[in-house]
Amino acid sequence: MSANAAETHALERLWWKRALAVLVSPRPVFAALRDDSDRAAAALQEPVLALILLGGIATMLDASVAGHMLDDPVVDPLLVAVWAFVGGGFYGTLIYWLGGGILSVAGDLLGSPGSYRRARHVLALSLAPLALSLVTLWPLRVAVLGSDVFRSGGRDSGAAGAVFAGLSLAFAGWSLALLVIGVRAVHGWSWARSLAATGLAGAIPVALVVVLRLV
C-alpha cells in the first residue's frame, strides 16, 4: 500500500470514529469539518451515508403511518421493514441534499464563507442521535411492545407507548441540538447567530416530519 493510500485509509477510519464521537464530544468533530478539501470529503462518504440512511429509517418508523401498517392483513413485518428501509433511504437523502442546501443558503445570508458540501456534512453528522435511536431504542421498543408498535391500539397506545414516543422526541431534540452546535463550531459564530441559521435551515425538514406524522 502506498503512503498516499495509507493516509487516506487512516483518515477514513478517523471519520468513522468521529461519527461516533459526535454523540459525546461534538465540538471538535464539527470543527474538523473546517477542512473541506476533496480528500477530507472523500473520507467522510461512508460515515455520512450510514448516518443519513439510519437516521432516515428511524424517522420513517416514527411516522404515524407506521403505527397502523399491520392493521392491513396483506402487510407483514417483512414488508414494514422493506418500507422503512426504502422510505428511510429516500427521506434521509432528501434531508441531506435539500436540508443541506437550505443550511448553506442560511449560512450565506448570515455571512458564512462555507460551502454547500460542508453544510451537508454538518447536517449529516447531526443525525447521529437518530441513527443511535434506530439501533438502541427501536429494538427495545419492539422487544417490549411487539407488533403492537405497528398496529392501532394495543400496548403501544398505553403508558409504555407514551414513554417510547417521548424518548423518540428526546433523540430528535438531541439531533437538533447537535445541528446548532455544529453550525457554531464550524463557523465560530455566537449562539444567537447559530440558532438563526439552524432555524432557517430546519423549517422544511421540520415541516416534512410533521407531514409524515400526520399522514
Instruction: Sketch the domain layout of the chain as residue ranges.
Output: 3-18+26-214
The pTM score is 0.91
Q: What is the pLDDT of residues 66-105, one digit of tens each?
A: 999 999 999 999 999 999 999 999 999 998 998 899 899 8
pLDDT digits (tens, 9 = 90+) for 23-56: 999 999 999 999 999 999 999 999 999 999 999 9
Residues 46, 8: contact at Cβ < 8 Å? no
| b/e code 143-175 from CB counts within 10 Å (16+ = b) | eebeebbbbeeeebeeeebeebeeebeebbebb
77: Cα separation from own chain's centroid: 24
DSSP state letter for 158: S
| Continuous segment of H or E residues that includes residue 124 | helix 116-125
Q: How many CB atoms lie within 10 A of CB 195?
A: 15
pLDDT score at 173: 93
- CA-closest candidate to residue 49, choices 59, 41, 61, 38: 41
